[in-house]
Structure 1
Amino acid sequence: MEVNKRLARDAKKKGICEEWYGRLIDTKGKDELIKMYLEGIDFCLSNEYPSNEFIRQHFVGTCEAYGVFLDQAITAGNFRHVVALGRCEGTATYDGWNVGQVFAKHQSRLKVLATGNSFVMVDVFDDTTVEVEARDNAKICVNHYGGNLTTTTGDGEGNAIIKVIRKTTKTY
């Protein structure tokens, strides 16, 4: 069975809507599937979909270019998306006027550093350990669903801001 058909079947079991089910069926190639994963990240992360094992079998080696990592060391600079799944460990840095989204899930350990005028959204889940630091005029907004979170703001200059929104649910 083709990868997209297996994904569509599994998504249907998890309650995906008809529109997205149809899009999955029609998707061609791994690159398009990874882009769709990022577009529907809320569904994927809240449903553990696809499984880490499925990602390992079918997407590791391709997904990293899009910022999706599984059980890997991460050094990501100004990636639009960074998704740390499994037991990732590393850093995601943003500078200048760059904007990014970071998702830390499972047992990942991640440092997010924003400098200059960058803006980063960070979602923290499960048993992760995430350290966020904003310097200069950078802004970070953290949705804290679970895990361990530490924050550091500024180095004495600029107007760096970190806003933490504590969520009362495990996921979206």
Structure 2
Amino acid sequence: MKINKELAAKARKLDICKPWLQMLKEAKDKHSLMKMFVKGIDFCLANNFPSVEYLEKHGQEVTDEYGVHVNKTVKKTDSPFTVLLGESKAELTNNGFSFSQIFIKHDSIVDITATGNSLTIVDVFDDSVLIGTVSDSATMVIYKYGNPRVDILKSGNATLKIIDKQRKTY
């Protein structure tokens, strides 16, 4: 597979660790690469790796399957893992006892509603926009990196924590 070699060369320049570099080189298909992206999300987001353009060109047929949306408009309920990149727009809802981990990057705009006893963890980066509500006994924890706009309304017995990491990325 050609793209794993291209990605390995780019990752090497970003100082990826040797075990992950080897896994990149040995990846058999795009599904293997997307599994690595999800598992190594901190490295990928911190380094914009691979780029939005690269993901659009080489991965669009598999990204959505792994909860990674590139310049897309999506509407999801109780999704356990969501990544929004580029200029994505999303309406996300978490109900009941669901758990959701959400990553919002670049210029994405996301509206999140958390209700019931749900737990929502959000990492928001760059110049993205996060708006929404947390109500009932839901919990939402937001980690801000860079200069995102965050506007969340809290009601009921909900818990809302916004932690400004005061740096651009992880």
TM category, shorter? over 0.9
Quote the residue 1:152 is aligned against.
153
1:135 has 2:135 as partner: yes
5 Å-filtered alignment, 1:5-16, equals 5-16=5-16
Q: Is the 8 A contact 1:101 1:120 kept in 2?
A: yes
CA distance in 1, matches of 2:131, 2:26: 39
Quote the residue 1:121 is aligned against.
121
Quote the residue 2:96 is aligned against.
96
CA distance in 2, matches of 1:31, 1:77: 24
CA distance in 1, matches of 2:135, 2:70: 28
Quote the residue 1:71 is aligned against.
71
- Superposition TM-score, scaled by structure 1 size: 0.93
CA distance in 2, matches of 1:44, 1:76: 23
1:32 has 2:27 as partner: no
Read off the aligned partner of 1:53 and give its amino acid letter.
Answer: E
Read off the aligned partner of 1:122 and give its amino acid letter.
Answer: V
Identity %: 37
Quote the residue 1:161 is aligned against.
159
Read off the aligned partner of 1:162 and give its amino acid letter.
Answer: L
Runs (4+) of structure 1 moved beyond 2 Å?
none
Read off the aligned partner of 2:104 and give its amino acid letter.
Answer: A
1:167 Cα offset (Å): 1.2
Read off the aligned partner of 1:168 and give its amino acid letter.
Answer: Q
SS in 2 for 1:55: helix
Quote the residue 1:107 is aligned against.
107
- Superposition TM-score, scaled by structure 2 size: 0.94
CA distance in 2, matches of 1:97, 1:59: 32
CA distance in 2, matches of 1:58, 1:86: 15
Mean Cα displacement is larger for which, 22-31 or 139-148? 22-31
CA distance in 2, matches of 1:61, 1:100: 23
SS in 1 for 2:141: strand
Q: Is the 8 A contact 1:76 1:82 kept in 2?
A: no
CA distance in 2, matches of 1:3, 1:21: 13
RMSD: 1.2
Quote the residue 2:169 is aligned against.
171
Read off the aligned partner of 1:12 and give its amino acid letter.
Answer: R
